[in-house]
A and B are shown apart, each in its own frame.
Chain A
Amino acid sequence: QVQLQESGPGLVKPSQTLSLTCTVSGGSISSASHYWSWIRQHPGKGLEWIGNIYHSGSAYHNPSLKSRLSISVDTSKNQFSLKLRSVTAADTAVYYCARSRVEGAVNAFDIWGQGTMVPVSS
């Protein structure tokens, strides 16, 4: 079955760029039926949708992060990526990648990665 796995540095310094990659296995990121999202969870808090991307490269960003955010897809590697610029301690969170459907249960996140904790600290 489809699995998602986040990867990236364990620590980011303030003002630097947070970069994460999600690798899709057991299925194709080029599926016409799915969007691919990034979601984060601040320690002990709720969930925040960051943005998503379709295999064509069309991306949608949360306006609260839009000025610092880019999401890209590499279909040859079956991966999609997140870059968040000029990070502060407020960006410290567990970052998840997740899949949602284009039709039916649209934008219900049915498969999640295990999550990766990214502290922002000097």
Chain B
Amino acid sequence: DIQMTQSPSSLSASVGDRVTITCRASQNINNDLNWYQQKPGKSPKLLLYSASNLQSGVPSRFGGSGSGTDFTLAISSLQPEDFATYFCQQSYSSPYTFGQGTKLEIK
């Protein structure tokens, strides 16, 4: 199985800050990397697919980059509704695996 490792595991930031979350795959996954946001008690929401493509309806302050094994999710100007847990997921090969999550908290 492809292992997905996110860093940091948790992050404190303020409204208006720019933050980045990284995701590393244990092998090359081309650009088959997706990002999700999950709020407490809710199901995950797809933010970006294929590393850098914004899902319909997702604000443009979310951006993604990377290919191969190293990927980044960036949020350009944090809004109150962005405090949540973020997961990466590889869709390169089955079984499709997720990172352990990054919890973004208000400073």
Q: Which residues in A have some Cβ–Cβ distance to B below 8 Å?
A: 45-49, 60, 62-64, 96, 100, 105-110, 112-115
Whether A109 lies near B50 (C-beta < 8 A) is no
**Cα A100 to Cα B98 with chains together (Å):** 15
Binds A, one of B10-18, B74-82, B86-94: B86-94
Q: Does B97 contact A (CB under 8 A)?
A: yes
Contact partners of A64 in chain B: CB under 8 A: 95
Contact residue among B50, B94, B99, B100 (Cβ-Cβ distance under 8 Å from A60): B94
Contact partners of A110 in chain B: CB under 8 A: 46, 49, 55
Q: Which residues in B have some Cβ–Cβ distance to A below 8 Å?
A: 1, 32, 34, 36, 42-46, 49-50, 53, 55, 87, 89, 91, 94-101
Whether A46 lies near B100 (C-beta < 8 A) is yes
Contact partners of B53 in chain A: CB under 8 A: 105
> Smallest Cβ distance from A84 to chain B, in angstroms?
15
Which residue in chain A gives the minimum CB-CB distance to B44? A112
Contact residue among A47, A48, A108, A114 (Cβ-Cβ distance under 8 Å from B49): A108
Whether A109 lies near B98 (C-beta < 8 A) is no
List 12 A-B pairs, Cβ < 8 Å.
A47-B89, A62-B95, A63-B1, A63-B95, A96-B44, A105-B49, A108-B50, A109-B34, A109-B46, A109-B89, A110-B46, A112-B43
**Cα A64 to Cα B96 with chains together (Å):** 12
**Cα A53 to Cα B51 with chains together (Å):** 24
Contact partners of A63 in chain B: CB under 8 A: 1, 95
Contact residue among A48, A106, A113, A114 (Cβ-Cβ distance under 8 Å from B91): A106
Contact partners of A60 in chain B: CB under 8 A: 94
Whether B50 lies near A49 (C-beta < 8 A) is no
> Smallest Cβ distance from A71 to chain B, in angstroms?
13
